[in-house]
Amino acid sequence: MQDLFNYFVKRCDSLHENEVPKSITGRLKRLNRKDREALKKLLIEKGKELELSGHNQVISWLETSLNLINEHAFHFNKVFFSPGNDIKNEIKTLLDHASQTVDLCIFTITDNELARRIVSCHKRGVKVRIITDDEKMEDNGSEIAKLAEAGIPVKIDHSHYHMHNKFGIIDNKIAITGSFNWTYTATKHNQENMVATTKFEIVEQYYNEFNRLWNELFDFKGL
pLDDT band, very low/low/confident/very high, at 223 (cuts 50, 70, 90)? low
Residue spans per domain, the chain: 2-71, 77-219
Q: Which one of 46, 136, 166, 173 is the catalytic residue?
A: 166
- Evaluate whether 144 touches 132 at the Cβ level (below 8 Å): yes
Any idea which fold 77-219 has? Endonuclease; Chain A (3.30.870)
Measured distance CA(112)–CA(123) in Å, rounded: 16
| Model confidence pTM above 0.85 | no
Q: Which one of 162, 164, 188, 189 is the catalytic residue?
A: 164
Q: Which one of 171, 173, 189, 219 is the catalytic residue?
A: 171
Mean pLDDT of 5-16: 93
Please indicate whether residue 166 is annotated as part of the active site. yes
Mean pLDDT of 142-157: 97
Does 56 score more than 90 pLDDT? no
Q: Is 98 exposed, middle or buried (0-12, 13-18, 19+ CB in 10 A)?
A: buried
pLDDT band, very low/low/confident/very high, at 33 (cuts 50, 70, 90)? confident
Mean pLDDT of 174-178: 98
- Evaluate whether 220 touches 144 at the Cβ level (below 8 Å): yes
